[in-house]
Structure 1
């Protein structure tokens, strides 16, 4: 199991006894599978004799029955053990991945994308099935059965045994070459084309409306190119490896092996063999070739599983956000940044950020798209760590606050809100699981969501995603209700009303202003009219704070804020209906 890597081997350690037991049982089953074939060969020799049959015939019959029973029971038990280990390992691995992924910086997820996370959490875990569920028993069969069979045939007739070894050796050599570095680049290009095809199909399926509305946007063309690329790569791989793979299949096929045995028995240079010996060779050579054939069929799956194990090992080895050895608790509801610098790879996102949010005040963060507003809010929530500088919550560096403590101190509402597959009441009460239904309804009422929920057949017991499909605006209102219900003294609101209609937006602004009174609020906003009341407005541009002040102070300055305000007011006037 060295193919799994150290992290996965640690997870596999509790199951080693079961795996070794499976290997031992499979070894017994493998040897037992040869007994019926040997018995049949001797029975063929006995049946040539005239009646009455030799006294030992029934012994060979009993040996064949016993060998078959041991083989069937042993094979079943061995596979039951390995598949049980596979199921338990996958369960532990998914739990370990879930614990590890939630502590990784968000930049890691941004680089990977949703398809990549799905590949790690599902596809790669499932791919380990070949390594754990089948590889131990297959390797036992591959090593033990050919060696035991060849030993018996060598004892029976050494010259014919060596003759029969030739196609098997060529088959092993062929499979080894197919799995060697000579074809590795072709296999990697084929696998990359498959992954790209899956990714493009996912994008195509997720954007069917846009594809139909804008057929020239490139999604469909990208998918067609991915199909063509896969066809080219797969055809190239088949043209390079197909002939050799077909030759190996022929060499190890039953008709060819039987013909090869008969040819060897007829060659004048080899010793003469009797009927029993010939039957033994005809039956056992095929049995000796079966594990080699299985190795060929499973080699691709085994290689894919090995690559998946390496990817999972790389994920589990990725350093998570460090927990403090001596955690400190925030002293108040202030937020501060000191000379913060943060970059995605080599691309600077935030530079020389200095700010302070006094307890109980409202601060708005505005600026053009791509200025770094959401990243700044994410640094406060410690979704990732700064490259230099400090982020302080309650006067304490966030790196010195335990994750659970920091999560209790912050209530988050982001632009792309979501709902778990729980009841709507449970979704609203995520920050406060012990909240009463009356408290939950009060928060939902403030978020303009209570009437919508009460109109449902199951009301607050409705399961999100099953009983009700919430729109983007409703998901935002659900997140706002969740934040209002929480007792967190700091609220981070990233475009909290971007998907709501104007009427609900005004009501939600009022709810956030009155219902969250006394809390420290950072509001990331695009519509400047929604944050005019803020005590402090920070204007961010190209990763730097270029202006700060109140709404009236910033309008009095000749700067980016006044420019953005005039543009939005001009756009609003142009949208007024013409009488």
Structure 2
């Protein structure tokens, strides 16, 4: 696990080493004012100015060295987090969609946001804290041993006791409590995020669905936290008491009273000040250890994600043209779960194909395979007899245009949205498709027209955003159009317009749908069930010969009634 940490920090090792040296000097200098203060008690009023000067020099040196050390560690933290986010951005562009299906949105969010931020304590503060923990206690202890060995041993008893209590808290015996607390806290974060993303559903079904899951997650966290506190709380309190300045000061005075020989006032003051200076970095390591453990776990998750194989593209370039799309003995698994099994499909040029099936049948996964958003576990996907992995990314984007079910527009102008895959498209081309999709009047109402910025000058409804995405796909030169539920957010009239437009286009179109009009227009229908292609044919053929298709039609008709 610490190897992952070293891999992340290795490029910054010299900067961190210099920061450690500065912090070590700062730790030594921090003791000088304490020693000087204690010596004032032995000095006459007219002679203590020398110690004031020494204390001032030590204090200023301490502040300068510590400031520069923290500056270097915080700069390292900034550079590290920036580089990690760039690497993660590059990685997320190459990961197949199956990764997100397996880990969910919060899986990547955990790493890209919370895990990267968890490294702050590790890089910005831990080097200084650890150096201070080593240098200050050892140096202060040596000074005290030189002054009075017996009193030093007695004064270290509370600190040693607190150290062993701290070790007990971190023992394997209590690790399950920490794991349970962290796991339930993470689950609670995820549920709160889902609740925030779906306020309407939470309001519509109070104490059910999302709200119920959030309440259960909160209850589980409360149980885990109470169990953790009940076991750890007493040990933690005793540890804090053992290193408190009040107890340590009283303990020094108590130790002095037990000694047979008198102890000078300057020595008593020195012991009180230095014992507290020993305890301070130890106290800081309490929560620091928690943060350090989180950072170590975070670094391992970041390393694993960066090591995951991404999707690699070939160098083969092809000119966008009509061609045959073929899936040969395709299987798709996410983890150990089969999503698609033994899929064999040939899509002819200019064919208009609908994909239907119940929820979870694998329809969206099949569309994503055709667009090469993920690769099959087994089998091949070919366009014009060329396996898709051999195509360059540019060629793939020129060959395939896809519209997913959720298609929020980019926060830029309407023109830039439409020209994303067709930078050379003319205004006439854009106006044509906007008119066909019943968006032209909306755009022309805007003072800026095509240059109206979405979310600033113009706000689109869900159906309008979906039609804009379809217009963008139609403007692209891609001969293969893939659409996932292209009419899901549309009223019947606009849905029919979209289907008629797609059907009239001189290119291959494959779309997932539950729209009866789309099924009637389709040249061929692919019926999926539990990841298997169980029937294919025209609407008329399947209506007569396929019982599962007949059942699906009855369900669709009931929903439309």
Out of 538, 555, 559, the position equivalent to 1:550 is 538
Normalised TM-score (structure 2): 0.93
Quote the residue 1:482 is aligned against: 472
Q: Distance in 1 between matches of 2:58 and 2:426?
A: 67
Q: Distance in 2 between matches of 1:556 and 1:228?
A: 53
Q: Distance in 1 between matches of 2:494 and 2:201?
A: 28
Q: Distance in 2 between matches of 1:306 and 1:503?
A: 56
Distance of aligned partners of 1:17 and 1:360 in 2 relative to their CA distance in 1, 3 Å threshold: same
CA contact (8 A) 1:363 1:537 kept: yes
CA contact (8 A) 2:38 2:266 kept: yes
CA apart distance, 1:331: 8.4
Quote the residue 1:264 is aligned against: 255
For the aligned residues, what is the CA RMSD?
A: 2.4
Matched, 1:217 2:205: no
Out of 409, 414, 418, the position equivalent to 2:399 is 409
> Greater CA deviation, 382-391 or 242-251?
382-391
Matched, 1:528 2:519: no
CA contact (8 A) 2:102 2:335 kept: no
Q: Distance in 1 between matches of 2:114 and 2:237?
A: 29
CA apart distance, 1:111: 2.4
| Structure 2 gaps, min length 5 | none
CA apart distance, 1:439: 4.2
Normalised TM-score (structure 1): 0.90
CA apart distance, 1:412: 0.4
| Structure 1 gaps, min length 5 | none
Residues 453-494 of structure 1 deviation map (CA, whole Å, 9 limit, x = unaligned): 333465444444455443221221121011012122211111
CA contact (8 A) 1:366 1:373 kept: yes
Q: Distance in 2 between matches of 1:207 and 1:569?
A: 29
Q: Distance in 1 between matches of 2:525 and 2:94?
A: 31
Q: Distance in 2 between matches of 1:378 and 1:544?
A: 16
Matched, 1:504 2:501: no
Residues 361-381 of structure 1 deviation map (CA, whole Å, 9 limit, x = unaligned): 322222333322111111112
Out of 150, 159, 167, the position equivalent to 1:159 is 150
Quote the residue 1:139 is aligned against: 130
Quote the residue 1:362 is aligned against: 352
Quote the residue 2:265 is aligned against: 275
Out of 441, 452, 471, the position equivalent to 2:442 is 452
Quote the residue 1:299 is aligned against: 289
CA contact (8 A) 1:29 1:74 kept: yes
CA apart distance, 1:203: 2.7
Out of 379, 383, 395, the position equivalent to 1:389 is 379
Quote the residue 1:196 is aligned against: 187
CA contact (8 A) 1:329 1:396 kept: no
CA apart distance, 1:565: 4.2
CA contact (8 A) 2:320 2:479 kept: no
Q: Distance in 2 between matches of 1:536 and 1:554?
A: 10
Quote the residue 2:74 is aligned against: 83
> Greater CA deviation, 172-181 or 335-344?
172-181
Distance of aligned partners of 1:85 and 1:460 in 2 relative to their CA distance in 1, 3 Å threshold: farther
Aligned with 1:320: secondary structure?
coil
CA contact (8 A) 2:535 2:546 kept: no
Q: Distance in 1 between matches of 2:254 and 2:388?
A: 79
Matched, 1:116 2:87: no
CA apart distance, 1:109: 0.9
Residues 50-109 of structure 1 deviation map (CA, whole Å, 9 limit, x = unaligned): x6x33xx33322211111111112222111111111111111111111111222222221
Matched, 1:96 2:90: no
Out of 17, 25, 49, the position equivalent to 1:28 is 25
